């Protein structure tokens, strides 16, 4: 079953982040509804990844609040934020190259089991853990590669494996940071199709540089420039926005 529609899953209020004299995020406000795929775009240095770092607790904000399911998570650690239903993939693949595909996903899945910190795990839990791992590999399209070492996967399949590892954390909100970066055109299409399918079951925030991907799969788009949100709307609304065309697309 997919997430409940028409409810605000993530809300950001007056968010600011300074690094010394540099203001990386400036008065950012936003509401992100459950069941929606939202892309965040902007030129290099616009603040997109910093925003993700604030949402996931890697950086504390200088000012402002972040709410997830109406709970203030502003001061929570990344570990606790992950526990309550946010998972993130990174621009650079984070997989364990010397483990198999199955082992990578199973390790991520095991962190959600009550016995994950124990030296011993019951036979019943092992069975549930393996079932969950197999289900995710089927869903992502990596079932036939389950016994391959991650280092032997193509670049595109490594990115898919990282997404599989984030899904193993049972997220309600999935943050994807440039998942098509470095992919071939064919791999980009495959990844785009995968993300569209996943968006039927989990809410997604996507940082993406490929405008074809953004315009094709997004329900809404947020445009950032030097830490500010300068526009938000449907792909058609954003494409026609005069400030977006001037700042982001370079039109005069």
- Residue-by-residue DSSP string for the chain: -PPPSSSEEEEEEEEEEEETTEEEEEEEEEEEETT-EEEEE-STTSSHHHHHHHHTTSS--SEEEEEETTEE-TT--HHHHHHTTEEEE-SS----TTSBHHHHHHHHHHTTSTTTTSS---HHHHHHHHHHHHHHHHHHT-GGGTTSBGGGS-HHHHHHHHHHHHHTT--SEEEEE-TTTT--HHHHHHHHHHHHHHTTTSEEEEE---HHHHHHH-SEEEEEETTEEEEEE-HHHHHH-HHHHHHTS---
Residue 252 pLDDT class (50, 70, 90 cuts): very low
Q: Are residues 6 and 80 in the same domain?
A: yes
Tokens of 170: 């049972």
Residue 3 pLDDT class (50, 70, 90 cuts): very low
**What's the number of domains the chain is made of?**
2
Last residue in a domain, options 149, 170, 191: 170
Task: Tell me the average pLDDT across 36-42.
Answer: 96
Q: Are residues 30 and 150 in the same domain?
A: no
| Res. 128: pLDDT tops 90 | no
Integer Cα distance of 223 and 8 in angstroms: 19
Q: Are residues 66 and 123 in the same domain?
A: no
Q: State residue 4's pLDDT score.
A: 52
Q: Are residues 81 and 179 in the same domain?
A: yes
Q: Are residues 73 and 117 in the same domain?
A: no
Q: Are residues 38 and 110 in the same domain?
A: no
Q: Domain of residue 48: give its range.
A: 1-85+171-252
Q: Is residue 92 part of a domain?
A: no
Q: State residue 2's pLDDT score.
A: 44
Integer Cα distance of 68 and 13 in angstroms: 12
Task: Tell me the average pLDDT across 221-247.
Answer: 93
Q: Is residue 199 part of a domain?
A: yes
Last residue in a domain, options 170, 204, 225: 170
Q: State residue 121's pLDDT score.
A: 58
Q: Are residues 227 and 208 in the same domain?
A: yes
Residue 5 pLDDT class (50, 70, 90 cuts): low
Residue 246 pLDDT class (50, 70, 90 cuts): confident
State the pTM of this model: 0.88
Task: Tell me the average pLDDT across 182-209.
Answer: 94
Q: Is residue 91 part of a domain?
A: no
């Amino acid at each position: 079953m997919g997430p409940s529609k028409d409810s605000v899953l993530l809300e950001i209020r007056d968010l600011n982040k300074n690094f010394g004299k540099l203001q990386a995020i400036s008065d950012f406000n936003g509401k992100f509804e459950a069941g929606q795929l939202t892309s965040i775009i902007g030129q290099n240095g616009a603040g997109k990844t910093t925003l993700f770092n604030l949402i996931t607790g890697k950086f504390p904000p200088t000012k402002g609040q972040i709410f997830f399911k109406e709970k203030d998570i502003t001061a929570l650690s990344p570990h606790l934020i992950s526990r309550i239903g946010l998972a993130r993939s990174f621009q650079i693949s984070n997989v364990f190259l010397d483990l198999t595909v199955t082992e990578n996903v199973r390790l991520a899945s095991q962190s959600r089991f009550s016995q994950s910190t124990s030296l011993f795990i019951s036979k019943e839990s092992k069975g549930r853990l393996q079932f969950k791992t197999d289900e995710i590999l089927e869903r992502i399209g990596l079932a036939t590669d389950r016994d391959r070492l991650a280092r032997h996967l193509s670049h595109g399949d490594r990115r898919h494996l990282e997404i599989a590892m984030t899904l193993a954390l049972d997220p309600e909100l999935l943050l994807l940071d440039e998942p098509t970066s470095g992919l071939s055109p064919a791999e980009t299409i495959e990844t785009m199709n995968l993300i569209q399918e996943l968006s039927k079951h989990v809410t997604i925030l996507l940082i993406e540089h490929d405008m074809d991907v953004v315009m094709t799969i997004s329900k809404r788009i947020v445009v950032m420039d030097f830490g500010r949100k300068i526009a938000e709307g449907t792909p058609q609304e954003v494409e026609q926005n005069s400030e977006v065309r001037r700042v982001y697309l370079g039109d005069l």
